[in-house]
Amino acid sequence: MAVIKLDRMTDSNRVKKSFNQQGLMKTLGASLESVENGSVTITASFHESLTQQHGYFHAGVLTSLADSACGYAALSALPDDYEVLTVEFKINFLKPAKGSKLIAAGQVIQSGKTLTVCEGTVYNETRDKILAKMTATIIAVKSEQ
């Protein structure tokens, strides 16, 4: 899949500030690792509270990380007076999510005036296994500030 080049510079502080306001990311112990124009990486370390009945990371954890990575990738490509909301996503779980850490990478595929399509990939701690793939549609909404 071809990734588009984006014209604007990323304000990583805006993305970081928004990420730090997310209660769910705090609950998951997630960290914002990198922000570039149209690309974001989020990680979460293993904790028993994030598992399902077989001891793997719960699918909801992978989904939440991928959704946030896609959303923040989209936000990084938008003007400063816009925020984002997820319109829809599709996720495929490819392997059981085990290991010491998850790495979720979000990448803008196509950014329009209103809708942005992103791809999210969740990897294991060494990035040698793809655990899940997401395609998400994100909507740009005018900021209320």
* pLDDT tens for each residue of 24-58: 999 999 999 999 999 999 999 999 999 999 999 99
The architecture that CATH gives domain 12-142 is Roll (3.10)
Asked if pLDDT for residue 76 goes beyond 90, the answer is yes
Asked if pLDDT for residue 131 goes beyond 60, the answer is yes
Query: Whole-model pTM?
Result: 0.92
Asked if pLDDT for residue 17 goes beyond 60, the answer is yes
Q: What is the pLDDT of residue 1?
A: 42
Tell me the one-letter amino acid at 75: L
Asked if pLDDT for residue 70 goes beyond 90, the answer is yes
Whether 46 and 100 have beta carbons less than 8 Å apart is answered as: yes
136 SS3 class:
strand
Cα angle 59-2-35, degrees, rounded to a multiple of 5: 60
pLDDT band at 61 (very low <50, low <70, confident <90, very high): very high
Whether 31 and 65 have beta carbons less than 8 Å apart is answered as: no
The predicted-structure confidence for 92-128, as pLDDT tens digits, reads as follows 999 999 999 999 999 999 999 999 999 999 999 999 9
Report how far residue 64's alpha carbon sits from residue 41's, in angstroms, rounded to the nearest whole number. Answer: 13
